[in-house]
Structure 1
Amino acid sequence: MLLATAPGMLLPVAPGLLLPVATGLLLAVAVAVAVCAVLPGPPPLPPRLLLAALRRAARWHRRRLEVLGTDVRHSQERRLRGLLPPGTAQGSDDFRERHPLTGGCADGEQGDAVAPLSLWALLRGCWSCEPPLQGSLLYLDALHAAFPQALAPRSTALLSWAPARPRAPAGWPLPTLYCSPPEAGALPSRTAALRVQLLFALRARSLRVLEAGLASELHDALATLRSGWPELAQDLALGRLSPQNGLPEDLRGRLQELLVPDAARAAELRAECARGFEGIAQRLWPQLQVVVVGTAHGGERLYLDALRQAECKGLPLYCPFYRAAGALLGVNLWPEEPEPRFLLCPNWAFCEFLPCPAEDEEEQRTVLLGELWEGREYRLVLTARPGEYRCRAGEVLRVAGFNKQCPVVEPVRRESQVLSVRGESIPEERFCQSLCRAVGMWPGARLIDYVCVESSLLGASSGVCAPHYEVFVELQGLRDLSEGQRYKLDHCLQEDFPVYKSFRFKGSIGPLRLHLVGAGAFAQLREALGSPVPMPRVLREERLLAVIQSTVIS
């Protein structure tokens, strides 16, 4: 069925969804046309009308997703046809025969620069297959259903660094949500950007949502609060923005114009920080309902757990999106559940899966979205952009359940973050478990952060010993470790990984070397990454190795 919206413009609509659209979204759009007709150019929708239109569009997409989920094979075939050149689509079986599996996917943007939606961009987007808009609308719908006050104007603070170009926050179709100036996130310095955004967040006592692009960004912003709250309180009291490295003077002046002195809020900040930092987010923002983190799996999981136990204790932490290789693939529709699960949307990308453990890859055939089994793990093969076919995304997923025919998945590990110097293959999540077990044997110690290096990256500086791992850790409660304590980690790895133990016994893998780094070392490392990406747990670049080596204290 086709819906006529304007002269010469026809949009496809599922038959069962025509009436809600016609009576809801188009009514809002018609009013917007009348309101905006007297204004020059293509203005954005007025905030209240935009919210009403977006909520109706979100509900329409939610119902559409339910319809698509009743026949995922058909939905995937249609998506594949949209990704192939016109006239070449012969179905998924022919596609898999013609195109062999390729290596890693090309790097993509984690988020694109966006502008507030114009009237017709919103209307066209409601029927488009573009995942960024659909994902954000589904996020706004899920957030509002679970936390009805979360979409109040200026009630969301954003902590997110994007030095090259603005990165779209989760709720970008509704820019009136945010109390933080967008230019603050584009500063050249990550540390400066997070501090400025934190200052603007502290001004807004009535926050409902605290949002970060990565769990590590929220972790580092709240670490800045821990270490620098006296200066932040002083800036609040005086209504100023202190000079700092990475904050250009002209931009500092423009941002400072948005500040006003607030002695009462500064006094409240001092009082709450003096009480300690457990549950500080809820105490500083009494109306805070949820913490939203764009990416919190893989190397970011450690920070999510730390936030849940300390600064954000008592608050739900919601991870709304699942991305792989720069493509948006799934959405979390369950904000109040403690463990993030993502519904793979069948019209966002064409997905294939290689069952784990891997068989002979020369003979192994991929399975499709509607052929997965609950409880099994799969490696993801992705076709998300025209011309980039059947790319290994480097992600392993576990199927946690189904919503109609759509699988609900949990990310398990990143294949690029596997440790292996002799083919022993120690995944990042299992290495972290062994490390945490070893740290538990060191009295008074608590793990803050870690990163690993394979000795081949060290070159001649690794000496003439057998290939081995080098591990850099930041600890709380210890400034040094004895040789016996350092050996505990190697011993835990031998207990947890028989293949590693066998290689260690034969001498073909040398003993692990453990280094302690100073406080703030990993914030420096994340700054050196140069872009907001999930924290790597295995370093592959010499320049990053040099950064972490320079912070070693023991």
Structure 2
Amino acid sequence: MLPRFDPTNPKACFSLLEDVTTNVKQIQDSVLEAILSRNAQTEYLRGLLNGRLHKQSFKKNLPIVTYEDYRSYIDRIANGESYDLICDRPFSLLLASSGTSGGIPKLIPLTAEELEQRILFASLYAPLVFKHIQGLSEGKSLMFYFVTRESETASGLLVRFMFTCVLKSVNPTNSFLWDRIQISPHEILTCADTTQSMYCQLLCGLLQRENVARLGAPFASSLLKVIKFLEDHWQELCLNIRTGCLSDWITDPQCVSGIGKYLTCPNPELASVIEQECSKTSWEAIVPRLWPKAKCIEAIITGSMAQYTPMLEFYGGGLPLISSFYGSSECFIGVNVNPLCKPCDVSYTIIPNMGYFEFLEVEKDQQEEVAHDSAKNHAVVDLVDVKIGHDYEPVVTTFSGLYRYRVGDVLRVTGFYNNAPQFHFVGRQKVVLSIDMDKTYEEDLLKAVTNAKLLLEPHDLMLVDFTSRVDSSSFPGHYVLYWELGTKVKDAKLKPKPEVMEECCFTVEESLDAVYRKGRKNDNNIGPLEIKVVKRGTFDELMNFFLSRGSSVSQFKTPRSVTNKEPLTILEAAVVSEFVSRKTPSWEPHELHSNR
């Protein structure tokens, strides 16, 4: 685990970062030894190791597992059995995952000690941003966070999402420490009504616009939802500022109390400045226009979030986009030690103290096989043995009771920081679309859509969000993409030209791999790809559906493929126009790729 250090002392943070990324092998060996010795008497380890706690026995006797393999143990604990089924100390709560797999959260055990480690992990990263970006200490952070209503298991064990957990771990009596660095008061951030909280966070940010040094949200998608909310509500926000009176529909006591610290009197001058910027024809560079002293935008912009980068760059007007760290509900894993790098170049340096890390090597033509078998026939290597340019799925063993647990992501090794490997986040370990012999992975689909949406730019159009499915109702089956479009020019009509959208369809197909393109050459295998444009706000409605099923606003990620009836019904009801690829993509045997 991370040794204790003073998170307010940058020198201590940098010294620790250098130490842990240099002594990687020793730390990893000691982490595994500590986990095994502490948890040796748990039912899970006792049954598999029989007291043999050395590394060789661990690798030989413990299977590599997925959540489904482990679910029975977590269900037993959730229903009231003892924590010592898998861990030597009690769980403070169960973490609900972000719902990457179908929008249904998994439940991940978390001890109080592990939560403390994750907060230290974030503290270790913070000085890096201040080192690379001058002037951050001259203002506060406008970070948009949202809590999700917590629940309990049958035995009374608390269930929370990670960001809710962090926000509610702040002692209310010491929340003034939080308020020293954050624009929005802690009480507003912990309001359970997301709409009221978002409105009041924006109002706080606008009232203190000259004091905002950086702004952001956990994910690029959630920050864009905040900007869209601002587009819909700026006139009302300006009215509140002009009159000094809060809108009547803001009734949550925490929001009313929190905003009361700043909305103290009419400020017509400020309202006029904001109105002038928001009423302009284009919202390009709206972030620095509204917050002129902002130095950067922070949000995760890797993996499936990469497709939102152009929109953030449009609204950000040249402000650096910083993707801070890589982690999951199961384990916090790595930090970005070069925060000013280009979004496409972001790599995360593994912090070896956070758990014991192994890596299951992934070759693209084996991904589906790897994803569904026991992984016994595939290379599993330690952290120090990964190779540059190779792709891996992380397998984590944690202090909170996960053993050789597959995270489900694909990471590509890009280099080393001291002796710690650096990884680029590629995507999820999952085929999202398949009809015949074709297997289109999340990474493939993201690249294809990225190529196609470039065709929208000359027409002042932007891709707001997208998802996909396979339509097998006709023969042959074909891929369907649902696109929500936006405009760069305010109040412009959203009516894309058919020839542009048909070329987008073709560009997506041309960007997919040779197996797909060969299937398209034979009309009996795969039919022409279709893009269905949906009305504005459709993906907000889709998000609301998943939120109603237990997902979280702060951690929600749009699924890149949908198969369930309810979300498909939402999408189909919102279709305003449909376009089909009119050309057949080329296929050449030499274009086949053997791996990533």
Structure 1 CA distance for aligned equivalents of residues 513 and 260 of structure 2 = 58
Match of 1:401 among 391, 415, 422: 415
Task: Choose which of 438, 455, 459 in structure 2 pairs with 1:444.
Answer: 459
Deviation (angstroms), 1:269: 0.7
Question: What is the alpha-carbon distance in structure 2 between the residues aligned to residue 439 and residue 319 of structure 1?
Answer: 23
Q: Is the 8 A contact 2:467 2:560 kept in 1?
A: yes
Q: CA deviation at 1:186?
A: 4.3
- The residue that corresponds to 2:7 in the other structure is 54
8 A Cα contact 1:439 1:445, kept in partner:
no
- Quick check: 1:162 aligned with 2:179? no
2:45 aligns with none
1:86 and 2:46 matched: no
Give the C-alpha shift of residue 312 in structure 1.
0.9
Contact 2:7 2:120 in 1 (8 A): no
SS across alignment from 2:124: helix
Specify the code of the residue in structure 2 equivalent to 1:352. E
SS at match of 2:576: coil
Q: Cα distance, 1:371 vs. partner? A: 0.5
Gap change, CA 1:108 and 1:424, over 3 Å in 2: farther
CA contact under 8 A between 1:104 and 1:394: conserved in structure 2? Answer: no
1:285 matched to 2:285? The reply is no
SS in 2 for 1:315: coil
User: 1:137 matched to which residue of 2?
Assistant: 123
1:474 partner amino acid: E
Higher relative contact order (CA 8 A, sep 6+): 2
Unaligned runs of 5+ in 2: 42-50, 72-93, 99-111, 151-163, 488-493, 578-596
Tell me the residue number matched to 1:518: 535
Matched, 1:546 2:560: no
Aligned to 2:161: none
| Aligned-partner Cα distance in 2 for 1:476–1:544 | 21
Query: Structure 1 residues 141 and 181, CA, compared in 2 at 3 Å: closer, same or farther?
Result: same
- The corresponding residue for 2:272 is 267
Give the superposition deviation at 1:141. Answer: 1.6
Give the whole-Å Cα distance in 2 for the aligned partners of 1:243 and 1:552: 35
Shift of 1:343: 0.9
| Contact 1:136/1:171 (<8 A) preserved | no
CA apart distance, 1:465: 3.5
Amino acid at match of 1:75: I
2:480 is aligned to 470
How many angstroms does 1:397 deviate by? Answer: 0.8
Map Cα deviations across residues 225-259 of structure 1 (whole Å, 9 max, x no partner): 23332222111112233244xx5454554345332
Distance 2:565 2:190 in 1: 26
Q: Distance in 2 between matches of 1:169 and 1:334?
A: 27
* One-letter amino acid of the structure 1 residue matched with residue 59 of structure 2: R
Question: 1:529 maps to which residue?
Answer: 546
Asked if the contact 2:484–2:533 (Cα under 8 Å) also holds between the matched residues in 1, the reply is yes
The residue type equivalent to 2:301 in the other structure is A
The alignment-based identity, stated in percent, is: 23
Counterpart AA for 1:427: Y
Q: CA–CA distance in 1 between the matches of 2:540 and 2:412? A: 31
Question: What is the rounded CA distance, in whole Å, between the counterparts of 1:271 and 1:300 in structure 2?
Answer: 31
2:270 and 2:52 mapped to 1: Cα distance? 61
Look up the match of 1:501: 517
Q: Would the alpha carbon gap of residues 434 and 453 (structure 1) be closer, same or farther in structure 2, given more than 3 Å must change?
A: closer
Does the 8 A contact of 1:398 with 1:410 survive in 2? yes
- AA in 2 matched with 1:225: L
Give the 3-state SS of the residue equivalent to 1:364 in structure 2.
coil
Provide Cα deviations, 1:239-294, integer angstroms capped at 9, x if missing partner: 233244xx54545543453322322221211122234422222222222112222x
1:199 pairs with one of 175, 196, 203: 203
> Could you report, residue by residue, the CA deviation over 1:295-347 in whole angstroms, capped at 9, with x for unpaired residues?
32222222233111x11122112121101344211112222222332110011
Note the alpha carbon deviations across 1:474-499, whole angstroms, 9 max, x for none: 12464256489447525642563221
User: How big is each residue's C-alpha offset from its partner over 1:425-460, in whole Å with a ceiling of 9 and x where there is no partner?
Assistant: 21223223323433445672634234334347xxxx
Aligned to 1:412: 426
SS at match of 2:143: strand
The separation in 2 between residues aligned to 1:148 and 1:492, in whole angstroms, is: 41
Structure 2 residue 234 is matched with structure 1 residue 229: yes
What residue number does 1:70 align with? 22
1:301 aligns to 2:306 (yes or no): yes
Task: Supply the AA of the counterpart residue of 1:144.
Answer: F
Q: Distance in 1 between matches of 2:168 and 2:216?
A: 8
Give me the whole-angstrom Cα distance separating, in 1, the residues matched to 2:190 and 2:335. 26
The correspondence of residues 329-478 of structure 1 with structure 2, limited to 5 A, is 329-339=333-343, 340-357=346-363, 361-416=375-430, 418-422=432-436, 424-441=438-455, 444=459, 446-455=461-470, 463-476=473-486, 478=494
1:99-248 paired onto structure 2 within 5 Å: 99-104=62-67, 108-109=95-96, 130-151=116-137, 155-164=140-149, 166=164, 168=166, 175=178, 176-204=180-208, 205-244=210-249, 248=251
> What letter matches 2:260 in structure 1?
E
Distance 1:372 1:94, change over 3 A: same
Q: Given the superposition, is the C-alpha separation of residues 344 and 110 from structure 1 closer, same or farther in structure 2, using an over 3 Å criterion?
A: farther
Q: Structure 1, residues 205-244: CA drift from partner, whole Å, max 9, x if none?
A: 2211213122112112112223332222111112233244
SS in 2 for 1:347: helix
Distance 1:73 1:150 in 2: 35
Q: In structure 2, give the amino acid aligned to 1:211.
A: G
Read off the aligned partner of 2:389 and give its amino acid letter. Answer: G
The superposition leaves residues 35-78 of structure 1 with CA deviations (integer Å, 9 ceiling, x where unpaired) of xxxxxxxxxxxxxxxxxx5322x533432332233332221122
The TM-score with structure 2 as length reference comes to: 0.72
Distance across 2 between alignment mates of 1:96 and 1:177: 45
Aligned residue identity for 1:131? Q
Are the equivalent residues in 1 in contact too, given 2:145–2:217 (CA < 8 A)? yes
Letter in 2 for 1:509: I
Deviation at 1:199, TM superposition (A): 1.3
User: What is the distance in 1 between the residues matched to 2:223 and 2:244?
Assistant: 23
**Aligned equivalents of 2:189, 2:114: Cα separation in 1:** 29
Q: Tell me, in whole angstroms, the C-alpha distance in 2 between the residues paired with 1:349 and 1:129.
A: 13
Q: Is the 8 A contact 1:528 1:544 kept in 2?
A: yes
Change (3 A) 1:304 1:189: farther
SS of the aligned residue for 1:418 comes to strand
CA distance in 2, matches of 1:525, 1:502: 33
Compute the displacement of 1:464 (Å). Answer: 4.6
Counterpart of 2:141, as a letter, is T
CA distance in structure 1 between the partners assigned to 2:26 and 2:481 by the alignment: 48
Distance 1:152 1:193, change over 3 A: same
Partner of 2:48: none
Residues 390 and 62 of structure 1, relative CA distance in 2, 3 Å threshold = same
Unaligned segments of structure 1, at least 5 residues? 1-10, 14-20, 26-52, 112-124, 457-461
